[in-house]
Amino acid sequence: MHLKYLLLVIFSFTIVSAVALPIKREGFPSKSCFKSHFLLLTLQYKLANHTSTELRDRFEKLEWGAERTHAENSRRDGVVFKPKNEVEKLRHDIDELKKNQNPRKIVNSRPDASR
């Protein structure tokens, strides 16, 4: 990818040097000079357009990746918090059951309480 840009830059500098050389004595650029200048402008436009398109594609990929990552994180958070909520609910239910039961039954239900 970088080699392509390097070759375009070298080629455009070659054209710039060719544009500066063929000037007539009257001071007006020659027809070939105009063609070279037009070619240079065309190459610069294509390079700028290609670069902006490539950058736009990169930004779109990053934005899509960020959205996908956010969705995955939300899904993962839902999976993680769901068991935590269930554990809290079970703990609350156990506490309620302990409060409702007779304390003597809880003591007698232990294996070492019969001794």
Contact between 10 and 40 under an 8 Å Cβ cutoff? The reply is no
How many domains, in total, are found in the chain?
A: 1
Find the domain containing 101 and state its range.
Answer: 2-114
Read off the pLDDT of residues 1-14 as tens digits, 9 standing for 90 and up: 566 666 666 666 55
Mean pLDDT to the nearest integer, 59-88 = 72
Q: Return all residues near 47 (Cβ < 8 A) that are at least 6 apart.
A: 5, 8, 12
**pTM, to two decimals:** 0.27
Read off the pLDDT of residues 74-115 as tens digits, 9 standing for 90 and up: 666 666 566 777 888 888 898 888 888 765 555 555 555 554
